[in-house]
Structure 1
């Protein structure tokens, strides 16, 4: 849920309820205690954000009273499938009406109902009005559209929408391979996908296969640029359709935000003085002002992990700046939830994790067409400026153009650690790039300030739960006596076993959903659907898992698999980790091995924000479940061999773990 702080905003701080009644000056508010109305207290905007980041403050919807604003379910992604899809359907119905002003509403609703009816959707004008009203009253909270009953909603249309999505994905896969989307090829691909999907569905939820005539119509309606690119080739297609599209320009901050990744032309060193590899930067930039909104620097490949941390940084006010980097002169002004997030078509941006998070936090996703980078022109230009204006001035730079290198050895000259680079990066973003005027445009900082002076207010998440958990990765599993097993590890707690008993009493079985931070797999957050809260559940082997990221664990599992001939245990995996750490200690790593281990480290700019605490029932580590006695010796695990991953062709970063469908 997004929220704007101002007069009328209510919040809960350390079990006390307040309401902002006056803005004394810019970003300084007077709030009254709702239990003792004669008690008033001043709060700066920065103070409120620090409390929010620490998890001690939760904002409330200022338009409604305390009793009416609490939902029975905090996290939209944890609701049953039919409730989620029903809410998505209602959002689809009202979406074109969200920008219409009140006095013109009725004719637009009637026109929308007529158009939907022609498309086969049965919905009344009264229902559209009610759904729109509920959504607007909630400040755009998707949970306001959730039905309390599981059996309501246009189920047939929802299932048909899933079939349409499968058709699009099959066609996209052909375009990516530069193959023409022949109707028969698409048809057989769709049938195979649907058959596979139906294997895990109940009879009433099974998808229906489309006819080949339906496939032909979809191909004819598909993007003509993509078809011409396959038929004529890239160059001729660009000539025919043009290289620059006329895009609607945003008129205020956060209306359109672009996000992407790029490797930096720089080699950093680790705490032992060893050269690592080129770091990757994930950056979000506001299209209207040109102000960078959020950034994440790390060594792992572009993945949902880097997207998650970049967005966390983008949403949050940068209250850490002066304390962490006192050499930075100005404030980092830009923050907030965007209305529209524009991405490319990478799998990390099209993942179910980001899709569910966008609904929970109320921002729209737009994946720019394949091979059309000009749709994200702002961020592409910024990456060039970043490399040329900052990175190429630092020791350890690799340069993009090989002819510039000469005898320069970037590994030999790498002397900068990650923390030092982050300080340089903040100076560049906040004190240089954001302050520079380009042409006739004002500087990004001045454009942001001017928008605020004219009444603009950034939207932020309403609670710490929204801030972090909504962006975590999703998982699904079953509660056994030994806890939850995920990727050869067990997660166990007393609260988890109590949940299993309560679910059994209710006849709900032991299947649960959970969320987890891919940069620290030592714990998961199990969703208690009966109490509508999260249960923090720790890995039973904390010595192995503490501060271990998902990418590293996949490598250790792969190494243990290779050595143990698929007879993998947590002990053999831990042995693989120990061998890798020994190599680092002895500093005998090749360039490729250092590259792999850089990705495995948890080094990254995710430490900028206080992201440790999550609203969940705390847990203590449980004992590792007793293993059966073995008659043979534990296999000896050799060091992780990077030749398994020649040219990094093995995809280890996204889809190996348990995921929720």
Structure 2
């Protein structure tokens, strides 16, 4: 039987299936442009994109064989030919900081040209003069960037990458910083070449080996445009370009140009699904497109916000929403906001500043930008939409309202009636059928209409065209999972005291480097279900699922595991083995079941356990007797748990 494909993943009625391992990592994009040739996943034929349709997510295409035209969904098409970089089929952690920094500097050099200016020779020449490189170099960097659609295309093509830092000595680094601050960032505005000569002059005086011209250029390119303008005597220009104005946001000129993300506890007490008794407030992470005010993604959880909830919100925003709506029982509803954001704007919380998150965003062409300190206007859009949502929530039974005065004598827990699943369905229904369709006061039209104008254009505005989609959804999701490095021993790999083993590890057991030091390998873990981890094979450049070595161990979330370890430690046991964890988990679940009717905390714990089990991990191995074991990806692709689970209960 031929199974339909969805986003590069084989799909059956039970979900998504693949081979036992994840295929080659592919961070390419599907760029929908008129005249381009694509492969139709449904019939395997090649089609030319003829025109965009007024109906969202629909395209007019021409069959290259029969020359007949028809209308297809954008999600049926995949790239026919790509300028592939097989050397980039590696995990992000395999690219050293030095190579990554160089790629970022190249990106800063071409960033102003990534719109129409890249097709204007005078603009490329002017930018080349600004950054001190040959125009041909900029053209080469633009071609490399566009071949992948992200900063990953700018990583130098070498035989391989090794972890490491810059080769500059501390003396060289200090001297470069001094000259840039004192000489280059000056209102006289010296050129890059003059700065290079000044650094070499200072090196000669101080008897320090002079760094290469390319190294100095890269360091200068690392300076943000705002800082360059402000410190080189162009403060007014920097202020006009980068300071937000009332009811506006810098550079939010088209759909997905700027997306804002923030968290909030929901002003609603929810109940567990079994006893229908209160278990506290859930947490919501939401992402809004500033240009259109469309909601592009969200993440709802019983656990406090963390870097995982941010990452999953971003990934959900990029992916199409058809299956999400079907899973929630909202057939007939439309949510056509999808695609890669250019910039994601967040506050300065630690969950947003994680290095893994920043690198994951960069690898997929997303610029992660933090709200300037003391500038609350930068967060106004997301805060207003969260406030709008909470006002609607205040009409639901069980609301906590926004303050004690509003609540008055209202008993939120007594009035609570909605489970987490029911609230999620209500929330998405409100987003797609009310908020997106209602006239927005700042826009004068609905977010849905504004999005459509941004995509297709009208008599006053030129549309930007359809957003780009990921070639491979699993690469996107794996890139955003938390990563861990460990050595591989004869009994497998141990993470947080839990042992994992599979034959995929055998060839790396007790592996060491040239100095005899044990090698560490990369693993990624789904916090919601830690019964398996994903091992990145550095030679095959594939991910393999590695289950618990002890097959008697049940599925559990990181939250449950930490709770069990805490209980065991509180009993005075210094050494914790797997049997203790198994016994402790069984005991804890039995206690939760017995006390669920009596205490809110226990019911919340039981509901977490149910939610984690029902949602399942992103990627799950289905055990079969055949040599090749398929992998099942659940329909709720982004239902992950959070990493930071040490927060107290929220009443």
TM-score (norm 1): 0.69
Q: Is the aligned partner of 1:572 residue 2:587?
A: no
Whether the aligned pair in 1 keeps the contact of 2:593 and 2:606 (CA below 8 Å) is no
Q: Is the aligned partner of 1:45 residue 2:55?
A: no
1:542 CA displacement = 5.0
RMSD, aligned CA? 4.2
Q: Which residue number in structure 1 is paired with residue 311 of structure 2? A: 308
Q: Which residue number in structure 2 is paired with residue 214 of structure 1? A: none
User: Matched residue of 1:300: which SS?
Assistant: coil
Whether the aligned pair in 2 keeps the contact of 1:337 and 1:458 (CA below 8 Å) is yes
Q: Which residue number in structure 2 is paired with residue 425 of structure 1? A: 427
Whether the aligned pair in 2 keeps the contact of 1:300 and 1:600 (CA below 8 Å) is no
Number of aligned positions between the proteins: 525
More helix per residue: 1 or 2? 1
Q: Which residue number in structure 2 is paired with residue 73 of structure 1? A: 88
Separation in 2, partners of 1:583, 1:40:
65
User: Matched residue of 2:322: which SS?
Assistant: coil
Separation in 2, partners of 1:104, 1:361:
29
Q: Is the aligned partner of 1:485 residue 2:485?
A: no
Structure with higher RCO (Cα < 8 A, 6+ apart): 2
Whether the aligned pair in 2 keeps the contact of 1:262 and 1:281 (CA below 8 Å) is yes
Change in CA separation of 1:461 and 1:620 when aligned onto 2, cut-off 3 Å: closer
User: Matched residue of 1:276: which SS?
Assistant: strand
User: Matched residue of 1:393: which SS?
Assistant: coil
Change in CA separation of 1:105 and 1:6 when aligned onto 2, cut-off 3 Å: closer
User: Matched residue of 2:583: which SS?
Assistant: helix
User: Matched residue of 2:288: which SS?
Assistant: strand
1:2 CA displacement = 3.7
1:382 CA displacement = 0.8
Separation in 1, partners of 2:515, 2:165:
27
Aligned mate of 1:498, from 496, 507, 512: 507
Aligned mate of 1:467, from 466, 473, 476: 476
Alignment of 1:546-557 (within 5 A): 546=555, 548-557=556-565
Q: Deviations over 1:20-41 (max 9, x none)?
A: 44448551354658xxx56989
Separation in 1, partners of 2:499, 2:70:
47
User: Matched residue of 2:414: which SS?
Assistant: coil
Q: Which residue number in structure 2 is paired with residue 340 of structure 1? A: 343
Whether the aligned pair in 2 keeps the contact of 1:280 and 1:298 (CA below 8 Å) is yes
Q: Is the aligned partner of 1:527 residue 2:536?
A: yes
Q: Which residue number in structure 2 is paired with residue 155 of structure 1? A: 166
1:412 CA displacement = 2.1
Separation in 1, partners of 2:260, 2:244:
22
Separation in 1, partners of 2:254, 2:450:
9
Q: Which residue number in structure 2 is paired with residue 206 of structure 1? A: none
Q: Deviations over 1:228-280 (max 9, x none)?
A: xxxxxxxxxxxxx9997974251211000000100011111122223212000
Q: Which residue number in structure 1 is paired with residue 131 of structure 2? A: 113
Separation in 2, partners of 1:508, 1:38:
61
Separation in 1, partners of 2:344, 2:492:
38
1:309 CA displacement = 2.3
Whether the aligned pair in 1 keeps the contact of 2:360 and 2:479 (CA below 8 Å) is yes
Separation in 2, partners of 1:453, 1:597:
48
Whether the aligned pair in 2 keeps the contact of 1:32 and 1:39 (CA below 8 Å) is yes
Separation in 2, partners of 1:600, 1:371:
40
Alignment of 1:110-509 (within 5 A): 110-114=128-132, 127-149=137-159, 155-156=166-167, 247-248=249-250, 250-273=252-275, 274-320=277-323, 323-326=326-329, 330-389=333-392, 391-439=393-441, 441-454=444-457, 455=463, 456-500=465-509
Change in CA separation of 1:285 and 1:265 when aligned onto 2, cut-off 3 Å: same
Change in CA separation of 1:601 and 1:327 when aligned onto 2, cut-off 3 Å: closer
Q: Which residue number in structure 2 is paired with residue 655 of structure 1? A: none
Whether the aligned pair in 1 keeps the contact of 2:149 and 2:365 (CA below 8 Å) is no
Q: Is the aligned partner of 1:585 residue 2:593?
A: yes
1:489 CA displacement = 0.9
Aligned mate of 1:28, from 41, 51, 59: 59
Separation in 1, partners of 2:63, 2:30:
19
User: Matched residue of 2:500: which SS?
Assistant: strand
Q: Which residue number in structure 2 is paired with residue 192 of structure 1? A: none
Q: Deviations over 1:310-349 (max 9, x none)?
A: 1222111111255334556541121111100001111111
Whether the aligned pair in 2 keeps the contact of 1:340 and 1:364 (CA below 8 Å) is yes
Aligned mate of 1:5, from 32, 35, 38: 32
Change in CA separation of 1:85 and 1:438 when aligned onto 2, cut-off 3 Å: closer
TM-score (norm 2): 0.70
Change in CA separation of 1:113 and 1:648 when aligned onto 2, cut-off 3 Å: same
Separation in 2, partners of 1:605, 1:378:
34
Whether the aligned pair in 2 keeps the contact of 1:267 and 1:275 (CA below 8 Å) is yes
Whether the aligned pair in 1 keeps the contact of 2:343 and 2:366 (CA below 8 Å) is yes
Q: Which residue number in structure 2 is paired with residue 88 of structure 1? A: 104
